[in-house]
């Protein structure tokens, strides 16, 4: 039992680290879109991720083995995340604000809970369901009190941002299933590699057809763009992928997904510490609701957890 508790807590520590870097993703993504087409941004982003992870693989520090493993499922996972998720996010942020993106992303735990119950047979108690909705309400409450709202003129962007919730939920469920066959590093390396190759082919094809290949190359000389890409590729993509995949090998997808809403609290704290933003009463109320929702989801019904089976999600 002590060893189980240690693993459980360690997986939570990884998830909190995941949230620490996710809080700046929307704004950093918007910053790169000022200089480049979404596909170019994604190509550079996953080039950084894949190259950095390839270094320890080449040096033999990270061992990978894909022989005899369900590669088709891994391809399906990569289709959802990173391909579907980041493509939808990049294009969605062209037609919606990062605040609207934050609100839409808050609904990820609800979508994950539904999909996990259907495909992984994960069960949640009524109190856990209420806790998930409580965390979502906490995020929405903060954004609404800040004056954020939805605009019907951004409906296309909002729709794409909501689909990122579906894509991430699908990834969480599949990654949870695949954790019985692949290590977190194997899943992450496969995801980063597929993302890099796919986005590179699409981006190069677009530039070759348009005769603008020089524009793609010159992006590497833009300092602000490169710094944003390093953050997005190495921190927001690679590190969060490794920590999320590790966590999903230890805890249920529905429990993991609720941690996504902690990014709002981290964003508030970072704003107060580094740029002197004011913390108001509604920030505190919303944060308490989010924390209560995370705690409730993970501790109100642990005995009803359904163990993950190796044959889950057979294709």
For residue 301, the model assigns a pLDDT of 66
Instruction: Take residue 67 and report the two structure tokens written for it.
Output: 């022989």
For residue 132, the model assigns a pLDDT of 93
DSSP 303: G
260, 108 contact by CB (below 8 A): yes
53, 192 contact by CB (below 8 A): yes
What is the pLDDT of the chain when averaged over all its residues?
81
Measured distance CA(135)–CA(127) in Å, rounded: 12
State the average pLDDT over residues 96-111: 82
* 3-state SS record for 30-57: HHHHCCCCHHHHHHHHHHHHHHHHHHHH
199, 43 contact by CB (below 8 A): yes
DSSP SS3 for 20: helix
DSSP SS3 for 119: helix
Measured distance CA(244)–CA(259) in Å, rounded: 10
For residue 23, the model assigns a pLDDT of 47
Give 232's pLDDT tier (boundaries 50, 70, 90): confident
For residue 219, the model assigns a pLDDT of 85
121, 254 contact by CB (below 8 A): no
Beta-strand ranges (E) seen in the chain are none
Measured distance CA(141)–CA(147) in Å, rounded: 10
- Global pTM reads 0.76
98, 30 contact by CB (below 8 A): yes
pLDDT tens, position by position, 245-264: 998 888 888 888 888 788 77
State the average pLDDT over residues 142-167: 82
Instruction: Take residue 16 and report the two structure tokens written for it.
Output: 């909190």
132, 69 contact by CB (below 8 A): no
For residue 278, the model assigns a pLDDT of 81
**Closest residue by Cα to residue 4 from 302, 269, 286:** 302
For residue 161, the model assigns a pLDDT of 87
200, 48 contact by CB (below 8 A): no
Instruction: Take residue 219 and report the two structure tokens written for it.
Output: 């992006």
Least confident residue range of 12-21, 69-78, 117-126, 205-214: 12-21
Give 152's pLDDT tier (boundaries 50, 70, 90): low
**Closest residue by Cα to residue 299 from 128, 137, 111, 121:** 128
């Amino acid at each position: 039992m002590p060893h189980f508790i240690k693993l459980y807590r360690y997986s939570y520590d990884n998830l909190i680290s995941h949230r620490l870097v996710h809080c700046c993703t929307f704004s950093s993504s918007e910053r790169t879109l000022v200089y480049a087409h979404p596909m170019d941004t994604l190509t550079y982003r996953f080039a950084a991720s894949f190259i950095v992870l390839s270094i320890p693989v080449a040096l033999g520090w990270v061992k990978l083995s894909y022989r005899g493993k369900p590669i088709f499922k891994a391809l399906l996972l990569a289709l959802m995340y990173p391909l579907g998720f980041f493509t939808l996010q990049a294009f969605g942020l062209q037609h919606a604000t990062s605040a609207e993106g934050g609100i839409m992303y808050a609904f990820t735990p609800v979508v994950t809970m539904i999909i996990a119950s259907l495909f992984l047979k994960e069960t949640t108690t009524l109190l856990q369901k209420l806790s998930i909705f409580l965390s979502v309400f906490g995020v929405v409450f903060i954004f609404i009190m800040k004056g954020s709202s939805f605009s019907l003129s951004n409906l296309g962007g909002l729709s794409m941002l909501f689909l990122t919730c579906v894509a991430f939920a699908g990834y969480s469920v599949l990654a949870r299933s695949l954790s019985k066959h692949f290590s977190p590093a194997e899943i992450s390396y496969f995801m980063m590699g597929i993302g890099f190759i796919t986005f590179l082919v699409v981006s190069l094809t677009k530039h070759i057809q348009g005769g603008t290949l020089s524009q793609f190359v010159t992006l590497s000389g833009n300092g602000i763009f490169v710094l944003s890409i390093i953050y997005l590729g190495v921190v927001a993509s690679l590190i969060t992928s490794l920590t999320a995949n590790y966590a999903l090998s230890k805890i249920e997808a529905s429990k993991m997904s609720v941690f996504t809403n902690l990014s709002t609290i981290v964003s508030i704290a970072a704003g107060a510490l580094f740029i002197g933003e004011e913390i108001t009463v509604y920030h505190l109320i919303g944060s308490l609701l989010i924390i209560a929702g995370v705690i409730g989801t993970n501790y109100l019904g642990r005995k009803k957890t359904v163990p993950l089976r190796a044959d889950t999600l057979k294709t």
